[in-house]
Structure 1
């Protein structure tokens, strides 16, 4: 009897060991996917380039689909382009109706909102090895919410200063020693105004990601803390409001800065010392034949910081083929895919192994270096919905209706009201 029981125990232990090993293997791969599986995966993308480059963008995504099909020959990948305008509502409406894509594009503040609504599938539950060490740390932080990864990074953006070297020299500046701090920039800005130039652009019709948050961060402040506390009206953050207010009061930025969305023409026409822009701005300068520029770093007050979104592909919680969709996301963010996409769009690739695309492009190499200072925005479920209110308070300040502290306090109140909903 003893030997029979022992035999049963041995067999049971062997079975448990085998089961545990299989479970570990499956976990390491995020769960197995049948490479002979038949399915159609729909991916919603956006116009990441100008109309002139649209055909090349289509080719890049076509190649991504073909690359995936080599591994999964029975899977059809459909790319459908939707416009940037109202994309948030369009996606949420489709997902609420249990429709929409298997894979789509998000940025971090939208990701947090969508994750909070429960419409995304955590991608780290679906994938094993995705080359984690090859992604830079900040890009992975940007796709993470409440300790769960909801996407894999496709692109990184960085905003920084482009200086008109002719105007800079006229003001006694040195293209080889560009401003590093608020004080250094403002000293040049005062000289620019005296000579009849604007110091820089300020496109107040755009979101606070570009018009306020970089200065809050540079001053050592936060909008919402990592543990969800409102900080936009704390003393360091208010310094960001004060900086913008001083620029406007002292005519360092144009009069229409309150609500305009595009000041690049002023820079190209030689009316502004500097332009706060991105790799896309640089591409436009080159297209227009503008050559008198030097690229400067984001500024520092207490710290060097700037805004630069991290674009990602995510998997819909509605997808009937989540594991397969996650494998597609992995393929679309591979080194080969990121090289092709980012070289075309002039974004910074989030994989270290793809950074070589800019080895021969000194300007993009500089922007790639500055990407380490870029924050992806405010990652919180209310961050998108409060942007119009924060923008409105900033505009009221510029109109003289509120002091910087009053504008910050009103913004804090708006955030609290949104959190209370």
Structure 2
């Protein structure tokens, strides 16, 4: 059905606008202040106080600066909490640059793997276009970080600190993606001309050798062995010599990474609850742990987060942070802006509709460190962000329970909190989703 906007129809729209209550004053308010400021609901700010019935000890927030490594910061921040408690090291940080180095190196190899697996498809195919759109980026998911740690371990931030390129990643990403796309041309041409597997592997190894050099120049070379020298919060001196990244992780964090399960809440028709899902072409470590999600209803989803918090353990989570969020004051609440009232337009969509129609997906990972329970029901949640201490309350945000319902898509839970029937579900073979499925979105803001 086709409909042209005729002069007569346009005139009717103009007349209808003039009849709208307070149209002139609302136009001035929006033109001079912007949509958000003109629709701000101060009552929502008053309700979102930084007081919680369950509140884990606050650590000094980290700062990812001008990079998209939130998923990495959030994961390492959950791990540093147990380290800080055990070794009396408040405000201690693990090296985000170390995991960043290996992530980019492994993502390069993962890209080559996918290029070769799709080499016989035309460049116009959706999968090839998807690959070439972003060969690698800063963003990621929980299982991708655990794949890196399982292979490479972790180190203190003092051993591999930040660099210009880790904190301001755009130059490195542009350079590396240019290199990877050029390599894709070479690999696809070799497949098209029936090059031998030996010759393809030789070319691929040379490409990875060059990638490694680029990353060392930009991020520094990862340590193989190091000494961990520090003073704890009681000023006692400690020196632990000849550690490897793997032995450091085992001794100072000591988690069994297999104990932790990614849980999603995706209420779309293609993902029935109480089943496992994975995403084609999503990952970073070839041969490593793959991304797998257990999809649960929102009530069970939230209850698991509460139980883990009550046990004294923070919760990694992924959400769409740009929705109904005031970055400066650190409030996430669907009621904070009233654009529907301002424009007299219904903007309402269900969570499933927003996922299906591209309005929302996971964009940012943070850490839940508290919850306010009233009559055993959550009303708001405390969130540790990784945007430094100049936003929110020294870097901590408040998330309303209603915002949790609508915009939180993923949490990571220790399997010991799962009931027996759900533990059994985690053992099933996951359904493979398309590469562009919203549950394959990478947290990277």
TM range, smaller chain: under 0.3
Query: Is the helix fraction higher in 1 or 2?
Result: 1
Q: TM-score, normalised by structure 1?
A: 0.24
